[in-house]
Chain A
Amino acid sequence: MTVREMSRPVAVAVPNLERLKHALAAGIITFLLTSLIVGIETVSSTGELTFNTRYKEVVIASIAVFFGSWVVSLMREGRPLPALFGGGAVTLVLGALLIWNNLDPSLTAWLPFNAPIVNWGVLIVPASICARAAQMAAAERARAEGRATPLAGVGKALEPALPWVGIVLLVGAIALPWLPLGERTQAKKIIDICTIVLTYIMLGWGLNIVVGLAGLLDLGYVAFYAVGAYTYAMLSVYFGWSFWICLPLSGVLAATFGVLLGFPVLRLRGDYLAIVTLGFGEMIRIIITNWRAVTGGPNGINNIPRATFFGLPMERDVPEGVVSFHQFFGLEYNPNHRVIFLYYLILICALVVNFVTMRLRKLPLGRAWEALREDETACRALGINPTNTKLTAFAMGAMFAGFAGSFFAVRNQFISPESFVFLESAVILAIVVLGGLGSQIGIVLATVVLIGLPELFRELKDYRMLAFGIGMVLIMIWRPGGLMAHREPTIRLHDKTRAPPAVAAAPKPAAEAAK
């Protein structure tokens, strides 16, 4: 008994008065924070500014924070029961009210907030407090009875399965268009979302070379994406060049931009580089917006030609003498063919990026990147040229962004500066960091969480971005190293657990690509 008690985490008991003061402070601060921004709604009608008050919400939020802070503080001390019952009760009452309200809208006045989606979103908070408390209570009881804590072994048991996750995902991604996805429009929607997710995965993998491997903080990555997109759009619209010629050109041009930008600024360290890349990203966007004669200005470029299937256009009606895709293969015309074609195109592009990255990590260049990330001064002492090494990483990342950009242009058939704002750079960086710097599979998971989930809830337009921001902060606090923390060097000296590099570098593309 004594041994068991000693092994329990020591919880510092806070006096009740102290806890009350703390909870009260949290409630009052919430009240003050929300008092003007939430409590007073400015309405500008007919040039005059007037206001409405919304103090019901402010008071409810403050009281909720007061009690929440109280039960969470008790829970931290190892007394999860108030949190369990309090959180459970609130969840049940609010949930019941919401469901009832769906059937009978007269209850709206009883709900804490006006917007229904906010009510549902708020429901998550007591529910998660309750779940956490339940987990703690269960662990407590298991410990008291001398059993193993539930859920404790789950993480360990999953570890050997990790290499297989990549392969399963890869097989799933290849098979996706052939799965029964429902009727045509629904299948199109699902494949479209997956295409968007894959675009971001590709961008994430590209930025991972710069940020994850070489350790250069790039806040203007979207500039290269824009260069790629505008290269294809302008060459195809003005000169009628085909997608298959423009794709490599976009990459080359984006890489050239990367070198041009990188050459003067890569001498700078860390955060200075970040701010210069941010400035560069903004400059590119401003130039695109204002150079109306060439880029179409804020209106963008319309009617960008579609990609052909190795010369076979994927249209229903083709001009005389041209064989279209469905005629060539003797198929019924189906607009989804093009969607599936684009899906496979981006899948292949993304896998190429992944494959190149995996290979590069094993080359001296890749090792130099990782070494540079860890200690620049040491690298310099060992004779690695930091500027050139950084420049290659920068150019490589930029090139992949260029490829992704031209794919974006061919898929959307319309581009405008709106698509290349700083937020996009932030989103891609968030994917890389949340995935765990340097982890390829982590980036896939982070993209699915950050892009895929919100994409499913497109109708909630404005709330989507809010949820996105909250998700970013919460994941960072929960796992500061990212979902899959991976900062292990690819190659180690004197490492007996690993196969020697010569064997590890033997070609096994499928398995490697899946990682």
Chain B
Amino acid sequence: MVTFIQQLINGLTLGAVYGLIAIGYTMVYGIIGMINFAHGDIYMIGAFHSLIVILVLGFFGITWVPLALVFVLVIAVSLTALYGWAVERVAYRPLRGSTRLAPLISAIGMSIILSNSVLLLQGPRGKPLPLKTESQFAAPFQLVTQDGISAQITDKQIMIMLITVLVMVGFTLLIKRTSLGRQQRACEQDMKMASLLGVNINRTISLTFVIGAALACIAGLMVTLYYENIKFNIGFVAGIKAFSAAVVGGVGSLPGAMLGGMLIGLIEVFFSAYFSVDYKDVAAFGVLVTVLIFRPTGLLGRPEIEKV
């Protein structure tokens, strides 16, 4: 029971990260129907931006976590969002309207460019978080204790879940209530019609990438704080798992992306706790295949209607 609760908490934390990345995939897929392979590397760039901002803040003597977090959220998130914009502008916009595979190859190329430039610029070694978090955070809360083992939740995990909930609320309001969100949804349903009605398509698509990159950066920040060590190649695995999460939840559905993320996170954590750590990724992909076979449009996806 204790193990179960502990793994549940760990799984939800990991799932929150996957979910935030998955939203970027699902939004882009929903609006222009391409797999943005570089999105995982945008997340990696976000993690590096967060780490570097924390490092520089430490140099100026700002080590109080809440203040540092505000700085990171403003600087790192806006710079990473700019990366999302630039990648779309450089590698995808010239290819809009060509074959379906062209932007995919361009995206794979972009992913290679991003991860290898970070490898060359920042070195191949893992980067430890420069913030001494032990002194800043209180001891973990004991939730349930049984036979001397207790399930605990740390401040960081609470923070990650809190940030995720806040970001999701803000993001849902953005999509549901603002005119920007309306334009985004209109483009998703029918781009040609939206453009006839005066929606600026290019701007809307760019903003989709910007929002996706911003969310990926928040995920990157959380991972940096949580694992306290990042590397140039973390984008690939997180990226394909987040994309799996988006597909499991139903591509194009925003709550689906979060649900899928949570599901993949939980399965990964439970599988490594009860069966085998080595094969946790096999379990995650196994779930993906199973879901697709029985519900080809994902858990919350709308069934595709085919017109001839």
Is A434 part of the contact surface with B, judged by Cβ < 8 Å? yes
Partner of B289, one of A211, A264, A286, A465: A264
Pairwise interchain contact B113-A466, C-beta atoms closer than 8 A: yes
Pairwise interchain contact A480-B289, C-beta atoms closer than 8 A: no
Interface residue SS majority, chain B: helix
On whether A473 and B110 interact (CB within 8 A), knowing A36-B52, A480-B99, the answer reads yes
Q: How far is the CA of A265 from the CA of B292 in the complex (A)?
A: 8
Which of B106, B247, B278, B306 has the most chain A CB within a 10 Å cutoff?
B106
Partner of A476, one of B35, B109, B128, B282: B109
Chain A residues with CB below 8 A from B208, complex form: none
Q: Which size bracket describes the interface of A in this complex?
A: 35 or more
On whether A286 and B278 interact (CB within 8 A), knowing A217-B101, A274-B35, A279-B244, the answer reads yes
Closest to B308 in A: A377
1/0 contact string of B270-308 vs chain A (CB within 8 Å): 000000001101100110110011001000000010101
Is A477 part of the contact surface with B, judged by Cβ < 8 Å? yes
Closest to B83 in A: A33
Chain B residues with CB below 8 A from A510, complex form: none
Q: How far is the CA of A440 from the CA of B55 in the complex (A)?
A: 52
Chain B residues with CB below 8 A from A422, complex form: 236, 240
Is A129 part of the contact surface with B, judged by Cβ < 8 Å? no
Pairwise interchain contact B293-A265, C-beta atoms closer than 8 A: yes
Is B79 part of the contact surface with A, judged by Cβ < 8 Å? yes
Pairwise interchain contact B55-A51, C-beta atoms closer than 8 A: yes
Q: Which size bracket describes the interface of B in this complex?
A: 35 or more
Pairwise interchain contact A278-B240, C-beta atoms closer than 8 A: yes
A-B interface pairs (CB < 8 A), number: 182
Pairwise interchain contact B278-A462, C-beta atoms closer than 8 A: no
Chain B residues with CB below 8 A from A43, complex form: 123
Which of B90-98, B143-151, B189-197 faces chain A? B90-98
Which of A236-244, A405-413, A425-433 faces chain B? A425-433
CB contact list, A418-464 vs B, under 8 A: 422-423, 426, 429-430, 433-434, 437, 462-463
Is B130 part of the contact surface with A, judged by Cβ < 8 Å? yes
Is A271 part of the contact surface with B, judged by Cβ < 8 Å? yes
Chain B residues with CB below 8 A from A270, complex form: 100
Which of A41, A51, A271, A274 has the most chain B CB within a 10 Å cutoff?
A271
Q: How far is the CA of A35 from the CA of B306 in the complex (A)?
A: 47
Chain B residues with CB below 8 A from A271, complex form: 29, 33, 35, 251
Pairwise interchain contact A477-B296, C-beta atoms closer than 8 A: no
Pairwise interchain contact A477-B106, C-beta atoms closer than 8 A: yes
Pairwise interchain contact B243-A469, C-beta atoms closer than 8 A: no
Is B102 part of the contact surface with A, judged by Cβ < 8 Å? yes
Is B172 part of the contact surface with A, judged by Cβ < 8 Å? no
On whether A286 and B282 interact (CB within 8 A), knowing A36-B53, A49-B128, A469-B110, the answer reads yes
Pairwise interchain contact B86-A29, C-beta atoms closer than 8 A: yes
Is A44 part of the contact surface with B, judged by Cβ < 8 Å? yes
Pairwise interchain contact A283-B109, C-beta atoms closer than 8 A: no
Q: How far is the CA of A79 from the CA of B123 in the complex (A)?
A: 42
Query: How many Å from the CB of A236 to the closest CB on chain B?
Result: 26
Chain B residues with CB below 8 A from A265, complex form: 289, 292-293
Chain A residues with CB below 8 A from B282, complex form: 283, 286-287
1/0 contact string of A237-281 vs chain B (CB within 8 Å): 000000000000000000000000000110111111011101110
For the A-B complex with A41-B121, A289-B278 known, give 4 more contacts whose Cβ atoms are closer than 8 Å.
Answer: A29-B82, A44-B128, A217-B104, A462-B119
Sample (16) of A-B pairs whose CB atoms are under 8 Å apart: A35-B79, A36-B52, A36-B53, A40-B56, A41-B121, A42-B127, A49-B127, A51-B56, A264-B289, A274-B35, A279-B288, A423-B112, A462-B120, A472-B112, A473-B110, A477-B106
The 5 A-B residue pairs with the shortest CB-CB distance, nearest first, are A472-B109, A469-B112, A279-B285, A480-B98, A469-B113
